[in-house]
Amino acid sequence: MKKIRRLIRFHGYVQGVGFRWRAMQAANAAGATGWVRNEEDGSVLMEIQGTEEQIDSVVQTIRKSIYIDIRNIKAVTIPVIENERSFEVKDSWWF
Query: What CATH number is attached to the domain comprising 29?
Result: 3.30.70.100
- As beta bridge partners, residue 89 has 36
Q: How many domains does the chain have?
A: 1
Q: Do 3 and 49 contact (CB within 8 A), yes or no? A: yes
80 domain-assigned: yes
Predicted confidence at residue 17, as pLDDT, reads 94
Distance CA 95, CA 61 (A): 28
Predicted confidence at residue 95, as pLDDT, reads 53
Predicted confidence at residue 94, as pLDDT, reads 59
94 domain-assigned: no
33 domain-assigned: yes
Which amino acid would we find at residue 48?
I
Q: Is-above-0.85 flag for pTM?
A: yes
95 domain-assigned: no
Predicted confidence at residue 92, as pLDDT, reads 75
Which sequence positions are flagged as catalytic? Answer: 20, 38
Which residues does 66 contact at the CB level (< 8 Å), separation at least 6?
A: none
Predicted confidence at residue 26, as pLDDT, reads 98
22 domain-assigned: yes
58 domain-assigned: yes
5-to-40, 45, 54 alpha-carbon distances in Å: 23, 13, 11
Distance CA 43, CA 88 (A): 17
Give residue-wise pLDDT tens across range 18-72.
999 999 999 999 999 999 999 999 999 999 999 999 999 999 999 999 999 999 9
Host domain of residue 45: 4-84
